[in-house]
Amino acid sequence: MRRCKADHPPVGKAQAVGTDWLKPLLYGAAIFALLLCAKAFGAYITMATEFSVTVKPEGLALVVTAENRGDVPAHAVQFEVIIHDRVHTGPVVETLGQDKKTSAEFTLADEARMPGRYPVVIKTYYKDASGHRFTALTVGFYDYRSILKPTVSISGQATRIPVDGKGQITFVLRNDGQTEQKIDLALFIPNELSASHERTVVEIGPQQETTVVYDIENYSALTNSNYPVSLVGQYEDAGSHFSVTGSAVIRISKDVKPAVKPVWVWVLMGGLIPGVMVFLKLKKATA
């Protein structure tokens, strides 16, 4: 949520130097700033999602919980779980009020074939009062039969994308181990964005790193919003399964051409330039 503060100009000081013509302009500027503030000070929804996985003989018991930490209700809340490349969806909650929680339980087949760590990806879908769709992305892991430390790491770099255009996001993969690794990569992004490709395979030698770049296009993301994305890597080594992830944030910025000034700039210039000319004329006449 963006907060805006409208500072009233020092009208009294302006009057003290004989510039009464500034008074209506300054009041107008203050009112205009308050209008901008009222527009920027909007309601928001923040969806916090967490999950727990219990490995049982009959499979996986997955519990997903989301809390609306915003100041307005969320609508059509639904979980989508991606695990072992399979997609599972939960029931739709019509309305989730402020500071309210909702949960869903999933009983899934455990398709792990070797000990290690496996990724769990959750997309929490919801809408605001106007019907605009949002996606909250959560990525985590569960351990099967053993807890292993990976030798591969992934780090992402934040980037900006114009609201009506495209951009790129970069991830750096590093192998700190002593053997070459073949990494199966999957990029997970909110549904408001689209990627040139989401699955790829890279090979990294020991004590080396490589860079992976994805082309991202805005589909329905909102201006001045931040959208987390995650790159998940999986590989096998010495009879064990490893999973790693790296996250980054995509900022949706307003694409403003340098030559075009906002309307409020022209409004203020239209009032200030004639006022300055009158002030100079009055000063010259009294000299």
Residue-wise pLDDT tens digits, 129-154 = 999 899 999 999 999 998 889 999 99
- What pLDDT score was predicted for residue 287? 52
Query: Among residues of the chain, what percentage have pLDDT more than 90?
Result: 60
- What pLDDT score was predicted for residue 24? 43
Q: Place 278 in a pLDDT band, splitting at 50, 70 and 90.
A: very low
Q: Is 150 left (phi over 0), alpha (psi -120 to 50) or beta?
A: beta
pLDDT greater than 70 at residue 104 = yes
pLDDT greater than 70 at residue 3 = no
Q: Place 74 in a pLDDT band, splitting at 50, 70 and 90.
A: very high
List strands edge to edge, sheet with 166-175.
152-157, 166-175, 208-218, 193-195
Q: How far apart are CA 94 and CA 50, in angstroms?
A: 20
Q: Could you read off the pLDDT of 9-23 as tens digits, one per residue?
A: 222 222 233 334 334
Q: Which residue has the higher pLDDT, 64 or 274?
A: 64
Q: Look at residue 149 and give its three-state secondary structure.
A: coil
- pTM, two decimals, is 0.72
- Residues 6+ positions from 226 with CB-CB distance below 8 Å: 249, 250, 251, 252
Q: Could you read off the pLDDT of 21-73 as tens digits, one per residue?
A: 334 433 343 333 333 333 334 577 888 999 999 988 889 999 999 999 999 99
CA 84 to each of CA 79, 111, 112, 225: distance values in angstroms, whole numbers, following the listed order: 16, 7, 8, 30
Any idea which of 26-30, 95-99, 171-175, 242-246 has the lowest mean pLDDT? 26-30
Domain limits, the chain = 44-147, 148-256
CATH number of 148-256: 2.60.40.10
Pick the CATH number of 44-147 from 3.40.50.620, 3.40.50.300, 2.60.40.10, 3.40.190.10: 2.60.40.10
Q: Place 270 in a pLDDT band, splitting at 50, 70 and 90.
A: low
Q: Which residue has the higher pLDDT, 11 or 103?
A: 103
Given this chain, do its domains 44-147 and 148-256 carry the same CATH topology? Answer: yes
Q: What tokens were used for 174?
A: 């590093």
Mean pLDDT of the chain: 79
Q: What tokens were used for 275?
A: 């006022």
